[in-house]
Copies of this chain bind each other. A is one copy, B any other.
Amino acid sequence: MRAVTTSGGGVVVTDRPDPEPGVGQILVRVRAAGLNGADLLQARGLYPAPPGWPPDIPGMEMAGEVVSTGPGATRFSTGDRVMAVVGGGAQAELALVHEREAMPVPEGLGWAPAGGLPEVFTTAHDALFTQAGLRAGERLCVSGAAGGVGTAAVQLGVAAGALVTGSVRSADRRDQVAGLGATAIDPEAMEKAGPFDVILELVGAPNLGADLNALATGGRISVIGIGAGAVGEINLGILMARRARIHGSTLRARPLEGKAAAARLLEAHVLPLFETGRLTVPVEAKFSIEDAPAAYEHFAAGGKFGKVVLTAG
């Protein structure tokens, strides 16, 4: 099979042996695989795949058709349209995933959006609801609202009845974020636009002070992106006075049962909203898997609205 492969700080496309499904696994012919910030880090050697996943084939989400099933795998049949968050190896013509980590592709959803759905919607849903406990009527601010997780979070917040503000550095992207149902603001305007019950922080530690200042009593900050920096100052006195909490999380390092549990929540609470057309995956750009180096370059340039997706087959 052809596979994106990390090489000297970037990626190339190489021939690799076809994988074989083990116990409980399914082999998927990948039709689309989204890019994520973690892929760039991994290419630079900063974010290795967890044990048990291909160490040098990046890709944390994909959609495609089931080619074959391993011993004991009974959830899906050959030809089924599936998608999944994986620990690595998604950016290839074939990928392995445990059947408990896979989900059916919603009726009517194309390959490119399906390939860019699992990681960002699982991440956003987990952060907003499982961690931060977002409820209808609450005020949500998504800090970094134009990217993949940001556009997912804005839509999920709107669908769940929250009052959503999206903070976006690039003025050019604010109309698009507003089109998803959010009030789009410049990050500098955040404190004035608050207070917020939940802040989803996708940018990093430099925003933490402003996040705390914009937080309502009983508020929750969920940190799932630190591209602008991991280390910053925190005033615990404000955290106490606000009776607030800060969550940090990643999906990738979770064990099988963690990824599978998140997939069940997505099946129950998110995929039905794709079938009714309430949610979409904005696809910013598609590249053939053979053009992966160009896709990575496009992704790294930033300022996107939605997902960059590799396609195959």
Contact of B241 with A236 in the complex, beta carbons under 8 Å = no
Number of identical monomers bound together in the oligomeric complex: 2
Interface size on A, residues (CB 8 A): 30
Residues A224-256 near B (CB distance < 8 A): 224, 226, 230-250, 253-254
Contact of B234 with A234 in the complex, beta carbons under 8 Å = yes
Residues of B within 8 A of A183 (CB): none
Contact partner of A243 (CB less than 8 A), chosen from B204, B241, B249, is: B249
Question: At the interface, yes or no: A32 with Cβ under 8 Å from chain B?
Answer: no
Report the Cα distance A239→B205, complex, angstroms: 11
Residues of B within 8 A of A224 (CB): 240
Chain B nearest CB: distance from A217 CB in Å? 8
Nearest-CB residue, chain B, relative to A212 = B248
Residues of B within 8 A of A248 (CB): 236, 238-245
Contact of A204 with B234 in the complex, beta carbons under 8 Å = no
Nearest-CB residue, chain B, relative to A230 = B237
Residues A170-211 near B (CB distance < 8 A): 204-205, 208
Q: List 20 A-B contacts (CB under 8 A).
A: A208-B234, A223-B236, A223-B239, A230-B237, A231-B234, A231-B235, A233-B233, A238-B248, A239-B246, A239-B247, A240-B250, A241-B248, A241-B253, A242-B248, A243-B248, A243-B249, A243-B253, A244-B248, A245-B245, A245-B248
